[in-house]
């Protein structure tokens, strides 16, 4: 089933989009019908509620660079010090990411000023200071490249009025200024829905800092108030940026997505009425994690977590550590904690951090990207990937069945659709160890995956025919994230607690694939070629495909795509990470014994004929098509095993 959301061509014409607009030039590498037309949106089209940019330092104190925090929160414990692990996370380098720079440039080429939506998440300090008004990096200061900073997160405010008391906030000692912060936003009609995402955050206008502990006591911040905030331990805080919606589109009652009237903000400001570009938080919210939680007896997630029951995003991505939250507490048994959240935000990116380090050159160490920290960060990401899935192998007759189990709280893989994929590689070996056949082969020199003979898990976003007509791009054009309005395919494995209804309600349902309610695993069957004695199966993940990096190189007109591509080449072309790998000894099967009952007979012939012209059971030579060659093999072994 294909999930298609079209844009009304009549509406586009009325908005001045049909053949009219700012011409950005033909895009190299993408054959089209002429010069691409930019969608002439304005900043208003990307308005979202929450705290707005403010250049008046008296009414809004600027977000500080995180180097200010390093003096006390860094340089004392490599696994515990918040600065040491944050600075080499993708959160800490979100605005220096060269892949993001190229994607930002293309977004602005495609849809005027759409980059402002990207800047809200990747550089919140810059956006709040009004340095994102041009929707690009031209107004950024040095501090603006600090990414998602310590100061930004620890000034974030829960947008849900009254929810702190609901989760046990001490009402007789209510220090939170949140009502005073939320009230003006409510009065102005711009208090965001807690499920909106897209960086519709609320930030304290004053330098009042919040955190998850209610017993901090001594104040080392020069009299700056410290506020206990349960919100900083809740997944909803992560959802602020890890659900991304395109507010330029609106959903009609029919389910069709159409472009809003140009020059106007989104009419409802509800996530479900926009195009869902990323749904990591919603995937988690619809899983078993936020309700019952999930235990891991092997302790793969959570660090020193007291119960091992993973419920929040922070439980897995900020695992508890033994130590001190600052240099004055670390090493003293009286002041250390068993549950200091590691600010590593471990994820799945294994090459971009090195690219950032290369770009920064001699400044890398000054800003905290020491070689040891970078190596440690990438090692944490690799381990996170290996903890994210499990594999089981079984032989079923003449087939090898591979089961991939999702151990995360969201889809596997999740997040940004472009360039990310996971796949199964199978090597069938003979008794001497020679390769009989391979499925899902990957060439590391050319970064090319053989795609037609294995299972690849990914999401594919494209544009509708109407958007194609209006922009002069081919129907089905992909990777243009600001234009995408069609989820053409999504077979990523859902998490524990998945239901089709729940995922459909947040625009996260599988597309072109199916999973039963509760299914957080997937099976793939491979025909065992004749002569195979064992099979080695590896489950791989890749952050950035060759196709996507070439798209960035050929499409970003300002050169950022070429820069990103060259860095990708320099750092191993985003070499895939082996998430799981197993070997299975295979029982010899007579070619033609399709059902594995020990005999080649009419039952096997019936299975083959039932799949004639396709693939699956009956594909004896593994060439992905059942035809006369396979029939000949079966008949040549008729009666074998009897």
pLDDT at 18: 31
pLDDT at 99: 98
- Which helix H or strand E contains 317, and what residues bound it? helix 313-317
- CA 413 to chain CA centroid, Å, is 7
Domains of the chain: 389-585 (no CATH), 590-642 (1.10.1330.10)
Three-state SS across 184-219? HHHHCCCCCCCCCCCCCCCECCCCCEEECCCCCCCC
For the stretch 534-543, pLDDT in tens is: 999 999 999 9
From CA 275, how far away is CA 255, in angstroms rounded? 11
User: Looking at residue 55, what is its pLDDT?
Assistant: 87
Cα-Cα-Cα-Cα torsion 220, 222, 224, 229, nearest 10 degrees, comes to: -10
pLDDT tens digits, 381-406:
999 999 999 999 999 988 999 999 99
What tokens does 617 get? 């059971």
CA angle 313, 316, 317 (to 5 degrees): 75
Quick one: pLDDT at residue 526? 96
Give the distance from CA 468 to its chain's centroid: 26
Closest CA to 544 of 579, 578, 573: 573
**Whole-number pLDDT of residue 294:** 97
Three-state secondary-structure class, residue 524: strand
Q: What is the pLDDT of residue 171?
A: 39
pLDDT at residue 23 in the model: 34
Dist CA 356 CA 94 (whole Å):
10
Radius of gyration (Cα) for the chain, nearest Å? 26
DSSP class per residue in 497-564: T--HHHHHHTT---BSS---TT--EEEEEEE--TT--EEEEEEEEESS-HHHHHHHHHH-TTSHHHHH
Bridge partners of 258, per DSSP, are 250
Q: Which of 410, 344, 409, 403 is nearest to 379 (CA)?
A: 344
Under 8 Å between Cβ of 210 and 156: yes
- Tell me which residues of the chain have a pLDDT lower than 50: 1-33, 163-175
Q: What is the model's pLDDT at position 457?
A: 98
């Amino acid at each position: 089933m294909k999930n298609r959301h079209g844009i009304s061509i009549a509406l586009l014409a009325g908005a001045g989009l049909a053949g009219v607009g700012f011409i950005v030039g033909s895009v190299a590498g993408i054959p089209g019908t002429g010069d691409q037309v930019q969608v002439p949106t304005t900043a208003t089209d990307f308005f979202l509620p929450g705290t707005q940019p403010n250049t008046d330092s008296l009414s809004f104190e600027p977000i500080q660079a995180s180097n200010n925090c390093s003096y006390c929160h860094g340089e004392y414990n490599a696994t515990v010090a918040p600065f040491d692990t944050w600075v080499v996370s993708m959160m800490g380098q979100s605005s220096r990411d060269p892949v993001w720079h190229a994607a930002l440039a293309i977004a602005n080429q495609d849809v005027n000023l759409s980059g402002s939506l990207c800047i809200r998440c990747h550089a919140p300090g810059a956006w709040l200071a009004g340095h994102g008004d041009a929707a690009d990096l031209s107004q950024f200061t040095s501090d603006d490249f600090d990414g998602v900073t310590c100061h930004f997160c620890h000034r974030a405010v829960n947008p849900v009025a009254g929810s702190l008391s609901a989760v046990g906030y001490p009402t007789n000692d209510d220090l939170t200024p949140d009502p005073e912060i939320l009230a003006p936003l409510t009065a102005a009609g711009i208090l965001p829905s807690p499920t909106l995402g897209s960086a519709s955050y609320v930030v304290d206008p004053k330098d009042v800092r919040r955190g998850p502990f209610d017993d901090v006591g001594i104040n080392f911040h020069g009299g700056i108030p410290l506020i206990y905030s349960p919100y900083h331990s809740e997944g909803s805080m992560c959802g602020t940026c890890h659900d991304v919606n395109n507010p330029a589109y609106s959903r009609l009652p029919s389910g069709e997505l159409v472009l809003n009237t140009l020059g106007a903000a989104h009419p409802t400001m509800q996530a479900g009425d926009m195009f869902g570009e990323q749904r990591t938080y919603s995937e988690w919210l619809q899983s078993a994690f936020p309700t019952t939680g999930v235990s891991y007896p092997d302790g793969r997630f959570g660090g020193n977590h007291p119960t091992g029951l993973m419920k929040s995003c922070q439980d897995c991505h900020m695992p508890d550590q033994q130590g001190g939250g600052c240099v004055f507490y670390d090493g003293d048994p009286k002041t250390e904690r068993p549950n200091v959240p590691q600010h590593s935000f471990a994820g799945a990116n294994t090459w971009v951090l090195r690219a950032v380090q290369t770009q920064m050159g001699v400044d890398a160490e000054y800003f905290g990207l020491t070689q040891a920290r970078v190596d440690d960060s990438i090692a944490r990401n690799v381990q996170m990937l290996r903890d994210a899935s499990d594999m089981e192998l079984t032989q079923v007759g003449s087939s090898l069945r591979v089961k991939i189990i999702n151990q995360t709280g969201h889809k596997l893989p999740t997040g940004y659709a472009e360039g990310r994929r996971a796949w199964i590689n199978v090597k069938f070996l003979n008794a001497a160890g020679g390769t009989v056949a391979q499925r899902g082969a990957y060439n590391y020199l050319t970064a090319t995956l053989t795609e037609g003979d294995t299972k690849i898990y990914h999401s594919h976003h494209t544009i509708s025919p109407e958007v194609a007509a209006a922009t002069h791009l081919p129907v089905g054009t992909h990777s243009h994230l600001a234009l995408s309005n069609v989820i053409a395919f999504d077979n990523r494995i859902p998490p524990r607690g998945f239901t089709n209804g729940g995922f459909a309600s947040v625009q996260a349902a599988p597309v072109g694939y199916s999973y039963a309610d509760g299914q957080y695993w997937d099976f793939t069957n491979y025909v065992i070629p004749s002569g195979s004695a064992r099979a080695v199966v590896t489950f791989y993940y890749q952050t950035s495909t060759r196709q996507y990096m070439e798209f960035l190189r050929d499409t970003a007109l300002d050169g950022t795509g070429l820069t990103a591509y060259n860095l990708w080449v320099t750092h191993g072309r985003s070499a895939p990470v082996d998430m799981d790998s197993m070997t299975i000894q295979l029982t010899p099967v007579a070619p033609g014994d399709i059902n594995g009952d020990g005999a080649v007979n009419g039952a096997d012939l019936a299975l083959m004929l039932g799949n004639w012209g396709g693939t699956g059971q009956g594909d004896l030579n593994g060439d992905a098509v059942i035809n006369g060659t396979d029939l000949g093999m079966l008949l040549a072994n008729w009666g074998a095993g009897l």
